[in-house]
C-alpha cells in the first residue's frame, strides 16, 4: 500500500511522559502496525533538527485519520498540548470525522475538561494504564493497538466504498437543489468538503425530551407526556439509553413508566456511557442468574453477529460460570424464546409496517392485518404524523383486497387529511391514487377520473416520476371503465 493511502495516526503526549509512557509504552505496539504496513505513525520527534516545529505539527494535524492522546496530569498541564494541539484535533473531529482516542496513563482530574468527559476514555471504566494495569501495562497498550487495527480493517472505514454511490452523493452535494437524507453509523468524511455547500451532518447520540418521549411511546411505554419526558431527562437524553429503557419498561406488567424507578443509580465512573449501562444492569438484575443472562453474555463476546455454530460451541463443556453453566443444564430454546418475546414487545411500528406490507404482497392477509393494525396504532401513540399515512395507505390496500371498501375509504380519508394538513405532497399523490383504485372497485368511474386527475397534477408538479408507470396503468383502467360505462 502506498504511504499516501495508509491511515495516519498522530500521537500527542507530554515530553515529561516521553520515556516511560511513549517510548517504552505505546510506541512499540503502534510501531508493529507501522512495520506491518497498516498505518503511518507520526509524533513530534519526526521533525528534523532545526525544522519549523510549530508549522510542521500543524501540518501533521491536518493529515491524520486517528489521533491518540496520552492523558496524564503533565499532559493536561501542558499549554501546548491543551491550547494548540487539542483544539485542532477537536476541530478535525467535528469537521472531518477524525477518530479521537484518549488513553488515560495516570489518574488525574481529567473530568474537569469537557472535551474529555464527553469522550470514551481508554482503558474503559476510568482505569489508568500505569496504576490499574501495574505489571500488565502491555495489555492496555495492546488494547489500543488492536482497536486501531480494527478501525483501519473495517471495510466501511472512513469512506464510502461503493464508487457509484460516492459519485452520486458528491454530485448531489455540489450541484443539485433538494433534500437527500442519509442515515449512517459513522460520519461521512467523503462529504466533509461539501459542508459549506449545503451538506449538514448531525450526530443523533442524544435526543430532545420530546423525541425521547416519542421513542418511549413507540416502544409501548405508558404514562403522561410529562412523566415520559421527565424520565428522558434522567437518562440525559441518551438515545441508546432511551431505546433500552423502552424495552425494559415494556417487559413489565402494565408497561408503566414508573418501572424506570427500579433502575440502579448511574455510576459516574462509566461516563459518558453510564446511562445505557444502568439500564443494562437493570436488565441483568431482572433476569438474575439465568440461561437468558448467560446467552446475553455469550452474545456480548462478539463484535459482530454470532453464528449458530459459534454459539453452539460456547454451550459445550467445560462449564463456565456466567457463560454456559445453566445453558448446559438445559433451557437454551426457552432462553431464546424468552429473549425473542422481549424484543417483540418493543418492536418499532415501522417494523410492523414493513412486515405488514410484505405479508400483503405474499397474500397472507391475516398476518398483514395484524401487523398493519399494530403499525397504525403504534404510530398514533408515538405522534409520528409523517409516517401514519404510509401505514394507512397500506391498510387501505388490504381492505380493498379483502372486499371492505368502507374501511378502505376511512383510511384514505384520514391519510388525505394528514397529508394536506402537514404538506406531505408525495403521500397526498399516493392517497389520490388509492382513491382512484377505490372508486374503480366500487364502480364510481367519474370519481375515479377526478381522483386520478388530482394525483396526476401533484405528480407533475413535484416530479414524482417513480409513480408514472402506476399513473399510466390507472389511466388505462379508468379509460376502459369510461368506455364500458358508455356502452349500451
Where are the domains positioned within the chain?
3-153, 209-345, 349-486
**For residue 73, what pLDDT is reported?**
93
Residue of higher predicted confidence among 464 and 269: 464
Say whether pLDDT at 11 is over 70. Answer: yes
**For residue 487, what pLDDT is reported?**
47
Q: Worst-scoring range by mean pLDDT, 215-219, 279-283, 303-307, 396-400? A: 303-307
Mean pLDDT score of the chain: 79
**For residue 191, what pLDDT is reported?**
64
Say whether pLDDT at 1 is over 80. Answer: no
Say whether pLDDT at 160 is over 70. Answer: no
List pLDDT tens digits, range 339-363.
765 655 445 676 677 777 877 877 8
Termini Cα distance of the chain:
79
CA–CA separation, 173 and 167 (whole Å): 10
* Cβ-based neighbour number of residue 300 at 10 Å: 11
Domain 3-153 is of which CATH architecture?
Answer: 3-Layer(aba) Sandwich (3.40)
Query: Taking a C-beta distance cutoff of 8 angstroms, is the pair 286, 245 a contact?
Result: no
Residue of higher predicted confidence among 266 and 358: 266
List pLDDT tens digits, range 166-183.
667 777 777 666 777 777
**For residue 300, what pLDDT is reported?**
78
Query: Taking a C-beta distance cutoff of 8 angstroms, is the pair 22, 31 a contact?
Result: no
Say whether pLDDT at 281 is over 70. Answer: yes
**For residue 126, what pLDDT is reported?**
74
| 247: confidence class by pLDDT, cuts 50, 70, 90 | confident
Q: What is the pTM of this model?
A: 0.41
3 state SS for the chain: CCHHHCCEEEEECCHHHHHHHHHHHHHHHHHHHHHCCCCEEECHHHCCCCCCHHHHHHHHHCCCCEEEEEECHHHHCCHHHHHHHHHHHHHHHHHHCCEEEEEECCCCCHHHCHHHHCCCCECCCCCCHHHHCCCCHHHHHHHHHHHHHHHHHCCCCCCCCCHHHHHHHHHHHHHCCCCCCCCCCCCCHHHHHHHHHCCCCCCCCECCHHHHHHHHHHCCCECCHHHHHHHHHHCCCEHHHHHHHHHHHHCCHHHEHHHHHHCCCCCHHHCCCHHHHHHHHHHHHHHCCCHHHHHHHHHCCCCCCCCHHHHHHHHCCCCCCCCCHHHHCCCHHHHHHHHHHHHHHCCCHHHHHHHHHHHHHHCCHHHHHHHHHHHHHHHHHHCCCCCHHHHHHHHHHHHHHCCCHHHHHHHHHHHHHHHHHHCCHHHHHHHHHHHHHHHHHHCCHHHHHHHHHHHHHHHHHHCCHHHHHHHHHHHHHHHHHHHHHHCC
Q: Considering the chain, what percentage of its residues have pLDDT values greater than 90?
A: 17
* Cβ-based neighbour number of residue 251 at 10 Å: 18
Q: How is residue 145 written as a grid cell?
A: 493497538
Query: Which residues are 68's β-sheet partners?
Result: 11, 101
**Whole-number Cα distances in Å, 436 to 120, 182, 425, 457, 487:** 55, 33, 17, 14, 21
Angle between helices 349-362 and 388-401 in degrees, nearest 10: 30
Domain 349-486: top CATH class: mainly alpha
Find, among 214, 237, 240, the residue nearest to 225 by Cα: 214
**For residue 58, what pLDDT is reported?**
57
List pLDDT tens digits, range 403-438.
999 999 999 999 999 898 888 889 999 999 999 999
Find, among 220, 224, 225, the residue nearest to 249 by Cα: 220
When pLDDT is averaged across residues 216-236 and rounded to a whole number, the result is 86
**For residue 306, what pLDDT is reported?**
64
When pLDDT is averaged across residues 124-139 and rounded to a whole number, the result is 82
CA–CA separation, 58 and 76 (whole Å): 19
Q: Considering the chain, what percentage of its residues have pLDDT values greater than 70?
A: 79
CA–CA separation, 270 and 204 (whole Å): 20
List pLDDT tens digits, range 49-94.
444 445 555 565 666 678 888 999 999 998 888 887 888 888 777 6
**For residue 276, what pLDDT is reported?**
85
Say whether pLDDT at 446 is over 90. Answer: yes
CA–CA separation, 34 and 316 (whole Å): 39
Query: Which residues are 8's β-sheet partners?
Result: 40
When pLDDT is averaged across residues 228-255 and rounded to a whole number, the result is 86
Residue of higher predicted confidence among 450 and 247: 450
Amino acid at each position: 500500500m502506498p504511504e499516501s493511502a495508509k491511515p495516519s495516526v498522530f500521537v500527542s503526549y507530554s515530553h515529561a511522559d516521553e520515556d516511560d509512557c511513549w517510548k517504552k509504552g505505546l510506541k512499540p505496539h503502534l510501531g508493529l502496525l507501522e512495520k506491518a504496513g497498516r498505518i503511518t505513525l507520526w509524533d513530534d520527534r519526526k521533525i528534523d533538527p532545526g525544522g519549523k516545529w510549530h508549522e510542521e505539527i500543524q501540518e501533521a494535524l491536518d493529515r491524520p485519520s486517528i489521533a491518540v492522546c496520552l492523558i496524564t496530569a503533565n499532559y493536561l498541564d501542558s499549554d501546548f498540548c491543551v491550547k494548540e494541539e487539542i483544539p485542532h484535533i477537536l476541530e478535525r473531529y467535528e469537521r472531518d470525522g477524525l477518530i479521537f482516542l484518549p488513553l488515560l496513563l495516570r489518574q488525574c482530574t481529567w473530568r474537569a475538561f469537557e472535551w474529555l468527559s464527553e469522550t470514551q476514555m481508554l482503558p474503559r471504566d476510568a482505569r489508568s494504564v500505569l496504576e490499574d494495569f501495574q505489571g500488565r501495562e502491555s495489555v492496555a497498550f495492546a488494547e489500543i493497538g488492536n482497536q486501531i487495527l480494527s478501525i483501519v480493517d473495517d471495510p466501511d472505514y472512513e469512506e464510502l466504498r461503493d464508487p457509484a454511490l460516492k459519485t452520486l452523493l458528491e454530485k448531489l452535494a455540489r450541484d443539485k437543489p433538494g433534500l437527500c437524507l442519509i442515515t449512517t453509523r459513522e460520519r461521512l468524511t467523503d462529504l466533509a468538503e461539501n459542508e459549506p455547500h449545503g451538506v449538514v451532518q448531525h450526530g443523533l447520540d442524544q435526543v430532545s425530551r420530546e423525541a425521547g418521549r416519542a421513542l418511549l411511546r413507540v416502544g409501548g411505554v405508558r404514562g403522561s407526556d410529562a412523566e415520559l419526558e421527565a424520565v428522558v431527562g434522567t437518562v440525559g437524553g441518551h438515545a441508546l439509553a432511551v431505546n433500552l429503557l423502552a424495552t425494559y419498561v415494556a417487559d413489565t406488567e402494565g408497561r408503566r413508566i414508573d418501572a424506570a424507578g427500579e433502575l440502579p443509580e448511574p455510576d459516574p465512573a462509566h461516563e459518558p456511557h453510564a446511562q445505557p449501562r444502568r439500564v443494562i444492569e437493570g436488565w441483568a438484575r431482572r433476569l438474575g442468574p439465568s440461561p437468558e443472562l448467560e446467552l446475553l453474555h455469550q452474545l456480548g463476546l462478539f463484535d459482530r453477529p454470532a453464528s449458530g455454530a459459534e454459539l453452539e460451541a460456547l454451550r459445550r463443556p467445560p462449564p463456565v460460570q456466567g457463560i454456559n453453566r445453566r445453558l448446559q443444564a438445559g433451557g437454551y430454546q426457552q432462553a431464546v424464546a424468552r429473549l425473542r418475546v422481549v424484543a417483540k414487545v418493543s418492536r418499532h411500528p415501522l417494523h410492523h409496517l414493513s412486515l405488514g406490507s410484505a405479508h400483503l404482497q405474499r397474500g397472507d392477509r391475516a398476518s398483514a392485518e395484524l401487523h398493519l393494525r399494530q403499525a397504525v396504532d403504534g404510530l398514533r401513540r408515538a405522534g409520528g404524523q409523517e409516517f401514519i399515512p404510509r401505514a394507512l395507505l397500506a391498510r387501505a390496500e388490504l381492505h380493498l383486497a379483502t372486499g371492505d371498501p368502507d374501511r378502505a375509504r376511512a383510511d384514505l380519508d384520514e391519510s388525505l387529511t394528514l397529508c394536506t394538513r402537514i404538506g406531505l405532497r408525495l403521500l397526498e399523490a399516493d392517497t389520490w391514487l388509492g382513491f382512484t383504485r377505490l372508486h374503480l372497485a366500487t364502480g364510481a368511474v367519474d370519481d375515479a377520473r377526478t381522483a386520478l386527475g388530482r394525483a396526476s397534477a401533484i405528480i407533475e408538479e413535484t416530479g414524482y416520476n417513480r409513480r408514472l408507470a402506476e399513473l399510466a396503468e390507472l389511466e388505462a383502467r379508468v379509460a376502459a371503465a369510461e368506455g364500458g360505462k358508455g356502452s349500451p
